[in-house]
Amino acid sequence: MGCFGFLKGMMFVFNGIIFLAGAAILGVGIWVKVDSGSILGFLGKIDNAPAELSQVLNIGYLLIAIGALLVIIGFLGCCGAVKESRCMLLLFFIIVLLVFIAEVAGAVVILVFRPLADELFMKVGTAAVQNIRKDYGKNPDVTGLWNTTMSMLKCCGFYNASDFIGSPYYVKNHNKYPPLCCPGSENPCNQTYNSTTIAGCFPKVKQLVDENTVVIVGVALGIAALEICAMVVSMGLYCRIKSTMA
């Protein structure tokens, strides 16, 4: 009985945390969608704010989906343990198992198709450069999106500053680059290729991923271990409840 009580307590505490976290995420997502007028009003007061900032509202859908899933998992885990409900524990196990399978499938797909990644990135890079040279400085949406990306990542273009050559902005400003491509400059400038040159956004993202590979793998393995433990404990409770009812 001592072990059984310990398992029930662990299930309740662990899933209680998941439930509260899910409720918080769900609440934020709902607030983002319901109070979109206030958010847009706040964003509109920011000087020189790019139009793409309004796209933050779309994150609300993702937050609602993640929050709802966590709430359901937490609820089933807590109530299943406290009420000793085999049905809830079984549903909890199935949902966590499906999430685990989806994660494993995603990892396998990434590993299997990794050789095709370089080709895919080349196509994405070509499209991105064409996008810059066609619309940067002419299309407000494209210009704002790239400005926001470069400002956040402290980068310039997709590969480097040469991506802007021939763009409407480059031509309009007498063959000069955006200020974000020149450290310390607030006006269109001539890019100097030296040690202070800002890297392109793609190399910057790749560098960030490479530098944090261990952390990413560690977090992924930690989540997988928690999911396995949750499934083992839920099935342990399920079998124990079943045996006491027999």
DSSP codes, 95-150: HHHHHHHHHHHHHHHHHHTGGGHHHHHHHHHHHHHHHHHHHTTT-HHHHHHHHHHH
Which of 178-182, 185-189, 195-199, 214-218 bottoms out in mean pLDDT, i.e. has the lowest?
195-199
Quote the pLDDT of residue 44.
47
Residue 18: half-sphere exposure toward Cβ, Cα within 13 Å: 25
Band of residue 49 on the pLDDT scale cut at 50, 70, 90: very low
Band of residue 136 on the pLDDT scale cut at 50, 70, 90: very high
Which of 95-99, 155-159, 205-209 bottoms out in mean pLDDT, i.e. has the lowest?
205-209
Quote the pLDDT of residue 89.
86
Whole-prediction pTM value?
A: 0.56
Average predicted confidence (pLDDT) for the chain: 78
CA 214/CA 163 separation, integer angstroms: 32
Band of residue 52 on the pLDDT scale cut at 50, 70, 90: very low
pLDDT at 168 over 90: yes
pLDDT at 132 over 70: yes
Q: Tell which phi-psi region holds residue 84, choosing left (phi > 0), alpha (psi between -120 and 50) or beta.
A: left
pLDDT in tens, 60-76: 777 888 888 888 988 88
Go through the domains of the chain in sequence order and give each one's CATH number.
Answer: 2-114+216-245 (no CATH), 136-209 (1.10.1450)
Segment 190-213 shows an average pLDDT of 73
Asked whether the CA dihedral 195, 196, 200, 204 is positive or negative, the reply is: positive
Quote the pLDDT of residue 169.
92
